[in-house]
Amino acid sequence: MPEGPEIRRAADRVARAIAGRPATRVRFAFPELKRFERRLSGKRVDAVDTRGKAMLIRFEGGLSIYSHSQLYGRWYVRPAGQLPRTGRTLRLAIHNPDRSALLYSASEIDVLRPAEIETHPFLSRLGPDALDRELTDSALEARLADARFARRQLAALLLDQGFVAGIGNYLRSEILFVAGIHPARRPRDLSDDERHALARAIRRVSRRSYRSAGITNDLERARELRARGLSRSAYRHHVFGRAGERCWSCGGVIESSTRGGRRLFVCPSCQPAAQA
């Protein structure tokens, strides 16, 4: 599933293609949304925003298109009227005279009025966006101390979009590694320094992934490994997807486990379980 950084980068591409210009045609695949095609066609796209893993395309007049890509949704931007060669199913198309923004395979699309955005079943439950420029370390430390979250294991808490929006499976493993914290620990058991390190890692790792198109490893190290001929999949992450390989930092062997049906990766030397 695309995580917050991937959705934000997709939103950037869509915004460059259609924001600030009238949409000459808007087309929905879902019959219940067909009634909005005429209402949105001809309207200017005012902005393209994200909230965690969701995207909002805002039109003049107040209506917004909400989408969540889930596991398989993918945005394409193409010259006007040109469709990509793909076996995916087109769900939403927004055209202007020069460009087309096309959403394939997504199953969660809606058109919302301003008041409906704040009461939407998914959007209304979201915590702060990990990529929000206004989000601070101190705000995240306060959430870690909040009674709603403080007793939960971090392995589960970091995937809870009500805690922080936009973190998914690879970011979870990478954030905990950078913070040096074992996933079985709970916020209430962390020292002040550890809570600060975790809050800082949530922001820094998420933003690094956004800026670098998915790289969470140290960027200088990633450049060096790439120069040595390693593939992107080999140098992209600190620990995620690297079970049985050596930790770039300490040389220990990275381990993996399954938590809640999803893979989690840990360096036992850098994230000692004895602290749990």
What does DSSP say about strands 255-259 and 262-266: parallel, antiparallel, or unpaired?
A: antiparallel
Catalytic residue among 194, 262, 263, 268: 262
CB burial of residue 238 (10 Å; 0-12, 13-18, 19+)? buried
Q: Which two tokens stand for residue 240?
A: 């995620």
Q: Which two tokens stand for residue 101?
A: 């923004």
What does DSSP say about strands 64-68 and 54-59: parallel, antiparallel, or unpaired?
A: antiparallel
Determine whether 2 is an active site residue: yes
> What is the rounded CA–CA span in Å between residue 15 and residue 121?
25
Q: How many C-beta neighbours within 10 Å does residue 250 have?
A: 11
DSSP conformational letter for 89: P
DSSP conformational letter for 252: P
Determine whether 25 is an active site residue: no
> What is the rounded CA–CA span in Å between residue 206 and residue 34?
36
Determine whether 187 is an active site residue: no
Determine whether 262 is an active site residue: yes
Catalytic residue among 9, 51, 53, 172: 53
Helical H runs in 31-131? 37-40, 114-119
> What is the rounded CA–CA span in Å between residue 215 and residue 231?
12
Residue appearing with tokens 């820094």: 204
Catalytic residue among 3, 6, 141, 174: 3
Q: Are 30 and 8 in contact (CB under 8 A)?
A: no
- The number of CA neighbours under 13 Å toward the Cβ of 100 is 17
| Residues classed as catalytic | 2-3, 53, 262
